[in-house]
């Protein structure tokens, strides 16, 4: 674990303790797997990654830990079409997602043009945007 991840894991542990949850070796392994994830892992992928640190981690502990962190707003649960539940830390700046329909890969991106267009559309319709989610689904183009 790098020094940069330690404060993040401390924050995640704090969220669990606030719910009265004991911080066990298994939960530390789960939190480490989350902190090290640069992608959007499923619960099963988090289990697999956690077991590299502690082979006794169970899927039930992964689900319970994720459920608490999602309820507290620390972890986001995404339901992308056809990929099942995927998880990501909520401490990231706003971004949108492009989902590869062939592989299930989730690519994060930001676009000031898209953000401006959404705000313009909402304004024209008499609304202020309070939240939004943009998911694009695509296939990688083949190069000829």
What CATH number corresponds to the domain at position 109?
Answer: 3.30.1490.190
Same domain flag for 65 and 107:
no
Do 83 and 55 reside in the same domain of the chain?
yes
**CA-closest candidate to residue 82, choices 102, 63, 110:** 102
Is 143 a member of any domain?
no
22 contacts 15 by C-beta, under 8 angstroms: no
Residue 28 lies in a domain: yes
Q: Same structural domain for residues 23 and 48?
A: yes
23 in the same domain as 62:
yes
- Give the pLDDT band (50/70/90) at residue 23: very high
Cα–Cα distance measured from residue 77 to residue 69, given in angstroms and rounded to the nearest whole number: 10
Which residue do the tokens 């267009």 mark? 117
| pLDDT at position 109 over 90 | yes
Q: Are residues 119 and 84 in the same domain?
A: no
pLDDT band at 1 (very low <50, low <70, confident <90, very high): very low
Domain range for residue 113?
A: 96-138
* pLDDT confidence tier of residue 3, bands split at 50, 70 and 90: very low
Q: Are residues 78 and 113 in the same domain?
A: no
Same domain membership, residue 69 and residue 37: yes
Looking at the structure, tell me whether residues 85 and 107 fall in a common domain. no
Number of C-beta neighbours around residue 14 at 10 A: 12
Residue ending a domain, among 58, 73, 89, is 89
Q: Is residue 144 part of a domain?
A: no
In this prediction, residues 6-20 reach a mean pLDDT of: 87
């Amino acid at each position: 674990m790098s020094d940069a991840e330690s404060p993040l894991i401390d924050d995640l542990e704090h969220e669990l303790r606030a719910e009265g949850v004991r911080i066990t070796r298994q939960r530390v392994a789960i939190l480490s797997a989350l902190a090290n994830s640069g992608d959007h892992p499923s619960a099963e992928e988090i289990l697999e990654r956690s077991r590299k640190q502690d082979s006794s981690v169970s899927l039930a502990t992964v689900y319970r830990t994720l459920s608490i962190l999602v309820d507290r707003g620390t972890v986001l649960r995404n339901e992308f079409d056809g990929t099942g539940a995927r998880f990501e830390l909520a401490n990231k700046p706003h971004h949108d997602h492009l989902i590869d329909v062939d592989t299930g890969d989730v690519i994060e991106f930001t676009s000031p043009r898209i953000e401006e267009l959404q705000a313009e559309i909402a304004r024209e319709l008499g609304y202020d945007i309070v939240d939004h989610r943009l998911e694009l689904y695509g296939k990688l183009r083949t190069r000829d």
